[in-house]
Amino acid sequence: MFENKKSFFEKLTGSLNPSAIESEEREIEMSANKKERVKEANDWMEEDNGEGQLTVDVYQTPEDIIIQTMVAGVKPEDLNISINRDMVTIKGRREGSRSVKDDNYFFKELYWGSFSRTILLPQEIDVDASEALEKHGLLTIRLPKLNKEKTTKIRVKSL
């Protein structure tokens, strides 16, 4: 299975290194639980509710807050973006081909199924002027910042 090299001390004394024995036992246990390890490696992408968490980049320009995320393989009608003044929630579902049995995979890292992500914004935005654009699998959400410094004068009407 693997070659266990003896240390200089082991060669000199003829004794076995306890850490080498533990290492061999761990290797045997790991190979026996291969499917379990693959499952655990895939679980990092799933939240407790069974949804994957979408990865995002969030940055700002002088006028906007920009959110970008990869949604390759997701139809625009399968995306749901909810926006309020200080928070954005992106939900969706990526449908995959289920023609391959799980036993035939060597690696299974792509996420298929429901996903979501809620982003707290660093400042309030103009919900009505916000827009979302998808191009080549990259979703870009442009959120215009509210200018709290801006003042508007209104005229008082007499009734």
CA-wise closest residue to 70 among 81, 80, 88, 55: 55
What is residue 117's predicted lDDT score, i.e. its pLDDT?
92
- 100 shares a domain with 24: no
Give residue 16's domain range. 8-40
pLDDT at 61: 94
What pLDDT, on a 0 to 100 scale, did the predictor assign at position 119? 94
* Token pair 């266990």: residue: 4
- Give the number of domains in the chain: 2
Pairing type for strands 64-70 and 79-84 reads: unpaired
pLDDT of residue 48: 46
Instruction: Quote the pLDDT of residue 102.
Output: 79
The pTM is what? 0.61
Q: What is the pLDDT of residue 15?
A: 63
- The pLDDT value given to residue 109: 78
Answer yes or no: is 152 within a domain.
no
- 86, part of any domain: yes
Angle at 41 between CA 34 and CA 93, to 5 degrees: 125
- Provide block-wise average pLDDT over 10 residues at a time, the chain (159 residues): 59 61 59 50 47 89 94 89 92 81 82 88 92 94 85 79
